[in-house]
Amino acid sequence: MHRRSLLALTALSAPALAQSGYPDRAITMATGYAPGGSTDIAARLLSDRLGPALGANARVVVENRAGASGMIASEWLKRQPPDGYTLMLVESSSHALIPHALQGGTRYDPINDYAHVAVVATGPLVLVAAPNFPAQSAAEVVARLRDGPQDRMPYASSGVGSLPHFAGEMVAVSLDRGGKFAHVPYRSGGLMVESIARNETQWGVAVLASAAAQVRDNRVRGIAVTGLERFSAFPELPTLAESGIPGFDLANWFAVVAPKDTPAPVVARLNAAINEALTQQQLRERLIIAGYAPWSTGNTPTDARAFFVRESEKYRQVVERTGVRLEQ
């Protein structure tokens, strides 16, 4: 979009913007991960509903720019024109955790380098155990992790620097057992959960969306979720907070951002369309089945930015508590 057109958009009110023809071509919704993962699933579920919410002829296309736990796509988004035609579905790892954990920091600032459009959903993580893990209830598993032989209970994650990696470290720190468990990183959440199903590793903390099918099929044992409340799709799973680790609260989340300086009327239009999409029962049900809780509280662009600020501070404290630092 030419600079003159961009300046004209900036001056438009939201109703006038709706009459200006925006969007008059496909909107790209980038993700920082490969097809089939939890972020990709959430992006596609949202995009299917976001297009119609923007207008009869609007279309949103998902583009996977995988690599470096979302950092490559995040850096790419910074360089895109702020015209409302390039968005990104970001998540807690790339935009709250890694910026604090990476030595030297990331080449993007999650707070100041983007226009925050809307929060989409949150999803708990779930502690899963191998079929032969020597404890049954959530409280018994937590007690075993606290008191059992550390060298015989390695935990799996979806990769070094991933949210499940830090969640496993947070479990160890919260148990105050004086040492950490051996960490076995895999290349994806799916491979991680499969390793636990095959008894290759004893336990791990997975994004719920990555483990939901295996938990339902009893291929791995769902033990407890990591949020402060039980998740509606798995009400039988207690929280870690009620299973012996008070206050434990980690969650994966998704939000939409745009390049910095995207015109406020464009951001407002996108925000309204996302909020409209999130009211649709079919989308809400599909998100819940996939392991996400659709966002339902205040969700203006100002709210979204405040959410990022809170989450950034929360995960700064997680990094500080675990002492884990990632190399460039």
**Predicted local confidence at residue 323, as pLDDT:** 94
pLDDT over threshold 90, residue 152: no
Judged by DSSP in three states, 12 sits in: coil
pLDDT over threshold 50, residue 4: no
Mean pLDDT of 228-256: 95
pLDDT over threshold 90, residue 276: yes
The rounded percent of the chain whose pLDDT value lies above 70 is 94
Mean pLDDT of 162-173: 94
> How far apart are the C-alpha atoms of 169 and 175, rounded to whole Å?
10
Beta strand 60-64 pairing with 27-31: parallel
User: In whole angstroms, how far apart are CA 126 and each of 41, 120, 180, 203, 204?
Assistant: 18, 20, 19, 10, 8
Domains detected in the chain: 3-122+252-322 (3.40.190.150), 124-225 (3.40.190.10)
- CA-CA-CA-CA dihedral for 216, 222, 228, 229, to nearest 10: 30
> How far apart are the C-alpha atoms of 39 and 64, rounded to whole Å?
10
Q: Which residues contact 220 (CB under 8 A, 6 or more apart)?
A: 128, 129, 130, 131, 193, 196, 197, 211, 214
Judged on CB neighbours under 10 Å (0-12, 13-18, 19+), 232 is: exposed
Residue 64 pairs with which residues in a beta bridge? 31
What one-character DSSP code corresponds to residue 93? I
**Predicted local confidence at residue 10, as pLDDT:** 44
pLDDT over threshold 80, residue 301: yes
pLDDT over threshold 70, residue 254: yes
**Predicted local confidence at residue 59, as pLDDT:** 95
Q: Determine contact, residues 284/294, Cβ cutoff 8 Å.
A: yes
Query: What tens digit of pLDDT does each residue of 122-151 get?
Result: 999 999 999 999 999 999 999 999 998 878
What's the mean pLDDT when you consider all of the chain?
91
> How far apart are the C-alpha atoms of 170 and 319, rounded to whole Å?
9
> How far apart are the C-alpha atoms of 269 and 135, rounded to whole Å?
51
